[in-house]
Structure 1
């Protein structure tokens, strides 16, 4: 029987389904045990990963029988695609399976950032009544700027329009003339200067690394918000911190970071920022999306190994 190694968390039902037809080594802790992971991969035909496992270098060298990589998500910056192509290893991202989860996270963040009222539990419990200080803003009529108009960016735009927001978008390579009448196409700098909130939806490449640097953030409307559910390296974290401290940015939501997991040492730079939402790369992970992503990935790997 062919062998599949799953080294990050996956829906158990999908794992059990694969076990009926394959030898499956499922241990979410393997991602943090590189020697053991490499040993398991020596006899494996497929590996299933999320974003933390680096499918490159020594790991690929050990996986001499590897035929397929299943990605529980869509980002591929943790996979050496060139090396996989050279060895004819197929890579299967779970396109579309977590779009709704990410879009809902973005919309939730917009509400939290604009209203500023949803983190006042400790003050209220302490007997304070910070009513005036927590007077925020409505989102209707505000401008959402989406950078990256792929499947997730489109879904975010649709949800935002439904709530009365104006929507503008920038994409390095426009996917045809299908923006629709309700979405305005803008250049990068124009979008930064216009939007009340920017949401990032681009992959991490040499062209997008630190796309949001000191210069770009300075070009944003003063007091605007920034939301990053794409990849941490798209935002220069030092520039972000300075902009939040100075008031150039009114707030931000960061679900992804330049180095993950975020360590206590790296986290110190964010410690005093009350206008910053930090979450552990969870935007695309809900109970529902995990089931969808896992099912799609399991089926992709099943088909790849069927031959």
Structure 2
């Protein structure tokens, strides 16, 4: 009798699980800007969700939006997909209910158009903030100690130290612009180096204050910091936050790191600051016009963007191609959070408040 009840219970649990997955079997998610690592990670995590997944390598924009099939439940997009009002109009006509960002930022979406059509926009508000913070530190150390140049030298049997002089991180003043999850992780690492950490944010983090971080005004951070790292979102207010005027407030010979959004920096103003020595080092993982370049292999092409070419010509500039998020841990969190966001929305469950983007 006990064995029969146990078998029946297991069958009942199996049926419940099968039904939960089965309801998603014909619910289609169309991915744009999909790379091989996206496909592998999302396919692995979809095993427990059962969505129908389709992947396109091209970015989403007016040129491809009509390829979206009628009845597609969700489109999943990344940082360089361009969801204008025109694109969203077509998505709505196709029956799309959800725009799922597999990133935190949403400056590339016309939110008013999405609201007009009743399309929900969801995102991944945090995915391994340590991944981005650690990459910012890696860029800083590479620029300072010139390990990238040393690596190439030694491979050519050149063991000279000339031109590789750096400085101690210990005791330097580091300015952090915005102390959300990524900025907070960066602050903790810099405190571990023995740096004095100054921060600017509209909301002061009490844990960071207790750890020794001093919150001061934005202008004071620029004036006092030897190293400045940007960790704020891109909004109309923060567009070109670093410009000719704010660069003029910085110490001569300062270091600037940006792993947030390219348009936080006025690139032409930064080039001018590099030429005068106002900036001694620049590390950027993001770029204003990156949608034309990043996530693509252009090694056999002529890059027509003279600005990025000028930047890369400086020996004291380090550019990486939006790589900061790129760890196994972060990819797993992105996939799991994105699929769970869509599942909850499809079942009428309100996701976490930070997940749904509102106008």
Secondary structure at 2:318 match in 1: strand
Any gaps of 5 or more consecutive residues in structure 2? 1-25, 294-302, 349-359
Among residues 66, 79, 84, which one is paired with 1:56 in the alignment? 84
Question: Is the CA contact 1:43–1:63 (under 8 Å) kept in the aligned structure 2?
Answer: no
Aligned to 1:74: 104
Deviation at 1:6, TM superposition (A): 0.8
Deviation at 1:257, TM superposition (A): 0.9
Per-residue Cα deviation, 1:16-39 (whole angstroms, up to 9, x for no partner): 554763332222x13168544432
Deviation at 1:213, TM superposition (A): 0.3
Secondary structure at 2:256 match in 1: strand
Aligned to 2:231: 201
- TM-score of the aligned structures, taking structure 2 as reference length: 0.79
Deviation at 1:249, TM superposition (A): 0.6
Query: Closer, same or farther in 2 for the Cα pair 1:127/1:179, shift >3 Å?
Result: closer
Among residues 276, 284, 289, which one is paired with 2:330 in the alignment? 289
Among residues 58, 61, 73, which one is paired with 1:45 in the alignment? 73
For residues 123 and 109 of structure 1, the distance between their equivalents in structure 2, rounded to whole angstroms, comes to 19
Query: Closer, same or farther in 2 for the Cα pair 1:131/1:33, shift >3 Å?
Result: same
Secondary structure at 2:322 match in 1: coil
Question: Is the CA contact 2:89–2:117 (under 8 Å) kept in the aligned structure 1?
Answer: no
- TM-score of the aligned structures, taking structure 1 as reference length: 0.92
Among residues 289, 304, 321, which one is paired with 1:265 in the alignment? 304
Moved more, 216-225 or 284-293: 284-293
Question: Is the CA contact 1:41–1:62 (under 8 Å) kept in the aligned structure 2?
Answer: no
Among residues 60, 72, 84, which one is paired with 2:114 in the alignment? 84
Per-residue Cα deviation, 1:250-287 (whole angstroms, up to 9, x for no partner): 11111111112355222222142010000111111222
Deviation at 1:175, TM superposition (A): 4.4
Per-residue Cα deviation, 1:58-93 (whole angstroms, up to 9, x for no partner): 221111212212111101111122222233322221
Question: Is the CA contact 1:147–1:200 (under 8 Å) kept in the aligned structure 2?
Answer: yes
Deviation at 1:118, TM superposition (A): 3.2
For residues 30 and 23 of structure 1, the distance between their equivalents in structure 2, rounded to whole angstroms, comes to 19
For residues 227 and 135 of structure 1, the distance between their equivalents in structure 2, rounded to whole angstroms, comes to 19
Moved more, 115-124 or 3-12: 115-124
Question: Is the CA contact 2:89–2:113 (under 8 Å) kept in the aligned structure 1?
Answer: no
Secondary structure at 1:4 match in 2: strand
Deviation at 1:237, TM superposition (A): 0.4
Aligned to 1:246: 276
More helix by share: 2
Aligned to 2:317: 276
Question: Is the CA contact 2:77–2:101 (under 8 Å) kept in the aligned structure 1?
Answer: yes
Larger Rg: 2
Deviation at 1:162, TM superposition (A): 1.5
Query: Closer, same or farther in 2 for the Cα pair 1:244/1:24, shift >3 Å?
Result: same
Question: Is the CA contact 1:192–1:216 (under 8 Å) kept in the aligned structure 2?
Answer: yes
